[in-house]
Structure 1
Amino acid sequence: MDLLEKCRAYTWADEVRDVGLYPYYPAFQGPAEGGQAVLDGSEVLMLGGSNYRALSSNPQVIGAVQDAVALYGTSAGGSRMLNGNLDLHEELEADLADFFGFEAALVFAAGYLTNLGVVSVLAGVGDRVYLDEKAHPSLVDGARLAKAAGAGVHWFGHGDPGDLARQLAAAPTRSVLVATDGVFSMEGVLAPVAELVAVCEEYGATLLVDDADGVGVFGRGRGVIEQAGMQGRVPLMTLSFSKALASQGGAVLADAQTISFLRHNSRPQIFSAGLSPADTAAAHASLREIHRRAGAEPDALSAAEYLRRALDALGFDVAGSASPVVPVRFPDQTAMLSAQRVLVDHGVYTNALLPSAHEGYQLRIACTDAHTPDTLEAAIGVFASLREDLLPRYRPTA
C-alpha cells in the first residue's frame, strides 16, 4: 500500500455529505456582529464563535488594524530573529507581561505554534511531561516532539490533582513539566489551578497553564490564574489571540531568562514569519480594551448562564460548564449532526464537534458580550420549538 492509500480510503466526510449532514467548513459572508452572521445568504444567530468579548468588530480594534497596515504593510516580511521583528511585536510583549504579571512575553505567529514551540523545546532527555488527559492538541503535539527528543510523556486524570500528585510522588526526576488548559474549550470546564499549583510546588514541577479561553473572561480579564488567586505562582502561561483578543497569533509568558531561552531555541518561533502588523495591532488594541473593562464582569458569562439554565429547563443535557461555553450533548453522531442541521435550517448556528474530539457527541455553543437578551430568547425559542424533534433522540424524559 502506498503512502496516500489511506487518503483514498477515507470516506467519512463524503458519506456525511451524501446524507446532507456535513457541518464543517461553512463559508460565512461578512463578519459576525451583534450575535448575528450570514451563512449561505441567510442571517443566523451565531452561537459558534469564540470571540468572547465581541471585539472583532470593535471600532478601536479595527482602527488600530487600519493604521498598522497603512504604516507597516501587510506582512512582517520574515522571521522575527532575522528581519521580521517589529516594534509592534515588542510593544505588545511588554504590555502582555505587564497586564498578566510576568517578567516577559514572547509573541508567536499562532496560538498552536506557541504551545508547540514551548513544550517541545523545554522538555527533552531526562525530563518528564505530564498532561491533563483532555489537554489541547497543541500541548499534546508539543509533548510528542518532546518525546521524540527523549522526554517521558505521561497523562493524569482530567482535572485530577490527586492523580497528578500520585504520579509525581513516584517520578524518578524533578525535572518535570505539567501542562493543562485553563478552560477546556470543548466542555467549558475550568482547571483546578490552585490545586495544581500546590501539587507542582510540593514536588518541584513546573506548571504551564494554556489560558486561551480564560483570558479576557476571568480574573478581571487576566484569566483563570488570577481567578484562582495564583498570580505569581504559575511559572508558564500561554494564550491565543484568536479568542477574546479578536486576532491571530499567541504568546508565552514567563520569567525573562526563560523567554530569552525560548526566543533563541524554539523552532516554531525561529522558523516562522513574524505575526502580521494587522494581527499584532488587533491583539494589542483588544488587550487595551480588555484592560479598560477589567472592573466589569463580561456579559458573555451571564449570557451563557442564562442560556444554560433555559436549555436545561427544556431538558437538554448542558451540565458542567462554568464559562461562556455551553455544551449540548447527544448519544451518537447522527443525532448530533441532525440537530446541528435542523438548528441551522431554523436560523441558529452551533458547532458540531468532530467524532475524534474526546468530548463525545455534542454541539458546542459559545456566548459573547454581543449576545443580548433578545438574541438569547430567539435562540431559546428555536430550541423550544424543536424540543420534541431533538430531545427524544438523546435523553429520554422521565
Structure 2
Amino acid sequence: MDLLEKCRAYDRADEARDAGLYPFYPAFQGPAEGGQAVLDGAEVCVLGGNSYRALSLHAQVIGAAQDALALYGTSATGSRLLNGNLDLHEELEADLAGFFGYEAALIFGTGYMTNLGVVSALAGRGDHVYLDEKAHASLVDGARLAKSSGAVVHQFAHIDTEDLARQLAAGSTTSVLVATDGVFSMEGDLAPVAELVAVCEKFGATLLVDDAHGVGVFGRGRGVIEQAGMQGRVPLMTLTFSTSLASQGGAVLADAKTVDFLRHTSRPQLFSAGLSPADTAAAHAALREVRRRAEAEPDALSAAEFLRRALDAVGYDVAASASPVILVRFPDQLSLLSAQRLLLEHGVYTNALLPPACEGYQLRITCTDAHTPHVLEAAIGVFAALREDLLPRYRQMA
C-alpha cells in the first residue's frame, strides 16, 4: 500500500465524532478571563488550562508584548545563530539564569523543542539516558534521537528512586543522564527531587529536571528544585513559557560551558528561527511578575485543594495530588467522553485524557490563580448536580 493509506484507514477520531463525543481541538472564541471563556458561543468555566498564575491577560505582560511588536516587528526573521538573535533574547536569558540560580540560560522556540534539543545534543554514542517511565513526550523523543546517535536509553519506575539506583548500580556509571519531569502534568504528582539528587550524586549521573509545570507555582516561583532545597545541585533544568510565564517558548538552564555547547550543537536551536519579539517580551514581563509575587502562595494551589476535596466528597474517584492538576478517574473510554461532554453542555470545560497519553481514562482538571471560590463553587455545583448521571457508571463497573 502507499504511504498515505494508513491515514485514509484511520477512523478512531471519526468514531468519537460520530457519537458526538469528540473532545479535542476546541475552538475558543477569545481568551479565558477570570477562569471563564466562550466556546461554541456559550460561556464556560475553563478547568483545563496551564496558565497557573493567570498572567496571559495581565496588563504588563500584554503591554510588553505590544511594545516589542511595535519596536521589533512580528518575527526574529531567522535563526539566532545567524541573524535572528535579539537583545531581548539575551536579556531574558540573563534574567532567567539569575532568578533560577544558574550561570546561564538558552531560549528555544517551544518547551518541547527545548527538551528535544537538550537531550539529543548531550547524549550520543557511549552515553546512557535514564527516563522516568512517565516523563513528558519531549524528553522521550529527545532520548529517541539520542538513541539514533548511539545512546542507550533506559526507563525507571515512576518516581521510584530505588529502581533507578538499582539500575545505575547494575549498569554503566560513566556518562549518564537522568531525566524527569518536576511536576508530572498527566499525573499531578511531584518528582522526588532530593532523592534523585542523592542517587545521581552517588553514581555520578547528571540530572535534568523539566519543571514546566512547577515554575511559578512551587519554591517561591522557582519550582520544585528550590521547593526541595536542591538549588545548585541539579545541573540541568528546563522549562516552558506556556504555563506560568504566559507566553510561547522554553529554556534550558545550566553552567555557562554547557549552555555554550548547546548554543552551537543543538539542532532545534541552530535550525529554527529565534523566538518572536512579542513572545520573548511577554515571557520576560511574566517572569518579573512571578518574581514580584515570590513570597505569596499561589492561589492555584489552594483552589486545586479546595476543588479536589469537594469532588472527593461528592463521590468522584479523585487521584491524590499536591499540584494544581486534578485527575478524576473513569472506568472506560465511553464513560470518560460522556462525562466530558455532559459537563461541557452544563458549562464546565475539562480535558479528557486517553491512553497512550496516560494510564486509564481520566478527566484532567487544572486550577489557576483566576479560579476564585465563586468560580469553583459554580463548577462544583455542576459536578454535584450531574453526579447521578455520571456516578452510576462507577457502580456498574464495580
Question: Do both proteins adopt the same fold according to a TM-score greater than 0.5, normalized to the shorter chain?
Answer: yes
Gap runs ≥5 in structure 2: none
User: What is the SS of the residue equivalent to 1:189?
Assistant: coil
| CA apart distance, 1:62 | 0.5
Question: Once the 2 structures are TM-superposed, how far is the Cα of residue 354 of structure 1 from its aligned partner?
Answer: 3.4
Quote the Cα distance in structure 2 between the aligned partners of 1:146 and 1:337. Answer: 36
Matches within 5 A, 1:164-175: 164-175=164-175
Alpha-carbon distance between aligned partners in 2 of 1:391 and 1:159, rounded to the nearest angstrom: 31
Q: Distance in 1 between matches of 2:153 and 2:66?
A: 44
Shift of 1:319: 2.2
Equivalent positions of 1:339-378 (< 5 A) are: 339-378=339-378
Q: Does 1:303 pair with 2:303?
A: yes
Alignment of 1:111-190 (within 5 A): 111-190=111-190
Cα shift at 1:396: 6.5
**Deviation of the 1:174 alpha carbon:** 1.7
**Alignment-mate amino acid for residue 270 of structure 1:** L
Distance in 1 between residues matched to 2:58 and 2:206, nearest whole Å: 37
1:285 maps to which residue?
A: 285
In 2: Cα distance, 1:249 partner to 1:209 partner:
17
Alpha-carbon distance in 2 for matches of 1:232, 1:271: 31
Deviations 1:326-374 (A, max 9, x none): 1111011111000000000000000111332123200100000000100
Cα 1:320–1:396 shift into 2, 3 Å: farther
Q: For residue 322 of structure 1, what is the amino acid of its counterpart?
A: A
Q: Which residue of 2 aligns with 1:321?
A: 321
8 Å contact kept, 2:128–2:172: no
User: In the TM superposition, what is the alpha-carbon distance from 1:171 to its structure 2 partner?
Assistant: 1.2
Aligned residue number for residue 265 of structure 2: 265
SS at match of 2:166: helix
Q: What does the per-residue CA deviation read over 1:277-307, in whole Å, with 9 as the maximum and x for residues that have no partner?
A: 0100110000000000000000000000000
Give yes or no for contact 2:300–2:367 (8 Å, CA) kept in 1.
Answer: yes
Q: Secondary structure at the match of 1:90?
A: helix
Deviations 1:243-269 (A, max 9, x none): 000000000000000000000000000
- Following the alignment from structure 1 to structure 2, what is the Cα–Cα distance between the partners of residues 285 and 63? 9
Separation in 2 of the partners of 1:253 and 1:384?
Answer: 44
Deviations 1:154-201 (A, max 9, x none): 000000000000000011242100000000001210000000000000
What residue number does 1:387 align with? 387
Q: Separation in 1 of the partners of 2:396 and 2:294?
A: 43
Q: Is 1:215–2:215 an aligned residue pair?
A: yes
Q: Deviations over 1:3-27 (max 9, x none)?
A: 1111111100011100000010010
**Secondary structure in 2 aligned to 1:27?**
coil
1:63 aligned onto 2:63: yes
Residue 37 of structure 1: aligned partner = 37
1:37 counterpart SS class: strand
Matching residue of 2:47: 47
Deviates more, 1:268-277 or 1:388-397: 388-397
More displaced stretch, 359-368 vs 80-89: 359-368
C-alpha change, 1:15 and 1:318, in structure 2 (3 Å) is: same
SS of equivalent to 1:74: coil
Q: Residue 173 of structure 2 contacts residue 204 of structure 2 at CA under 8 Å; is this kept in 1? A: no
* Superposed counterparts of 1:227-238, under 5 Å: 227-238=227-238
C-alpha deviations, 1:190-222, integer Å up to 9, x for none? 000000000000000000000000000000000
Decide whether the 8 Å contact of 1:74 with 1:276 is kept in 2: yes
Residue in 1 that maps onto 2:240: 240
Aligned equivalents of 2:360 and 2:319: distance in 1? 14
Partner of 1:336: 336
**Distance in 2, Cα, partners of 1:348 & 1:207:** 39
Identity %: 81
Cα distance, 1:397 vs. partner? 11
Distance in 1 between residues matched to 2:335 and 2:213, nearest whole Å: 27
Distance 2:390 2:374 in 1: 23
Q: Distance in 2 between matches of 1:22 and 1:272?
A: 33
Q: Which residue does the alignment assign to 2:205?
A: 205
Q: Take 1:194 and 1:49, find their aligned partners in 2: how far apart are those partners?
A: 29
In angstroms, what is the RMSD of aligned CA positions? 1.0
Partner of 1:109: 109
Separation in 1 of the partners of 2:172 and 2:186? 34
Displacement over 4 Å in runs of 4+: 395-398
Equivalent position amino acid for 1:302 in 2: S
Equivalents in 2 of 1:95, 1:194: separation in Å?
Answer: 25
Question: Does the 8 Å CA contact 1:315/1:397 hold for their aligned counterparts?
Answer: no
Cross-structure match for 1:91: 91
Asked whether the 8 Å contact 1:188–1:326 carries over to 2, the reply is yes
Q: Is the 8 A contact 1:316 1:395 kept in 2?
A: no
Per-residue deviation, residues 81-110 of structure 1 (Å, max 9, x unmatched):
000000000000000000000000000011
Q: Tell me how far apart the structure 2 counterparts of residues 293 and 285 of structure 1 sit (CA, whole Å).
A: 13
Cα distance in 1, alignment partners of residues 9 and 156 from structure 2: 34
Given that 2:23 and 2:341 are in contact with CA atoms closer than 8 Å, whether structure 1 keeps it comes out as yes
Unaligned runs of 5+ in 1: none
Counterpart in 1 of 2:28? 28
Q: Distance in 2 between matches of 1:386 and 1:72?
A: 51
Q: Deviations over 1:25-51 (max 9, x none)?
A: 010000000010000010000100000
Q: Retained in 1: the 8 A contact 2:173–2:205?
A: no
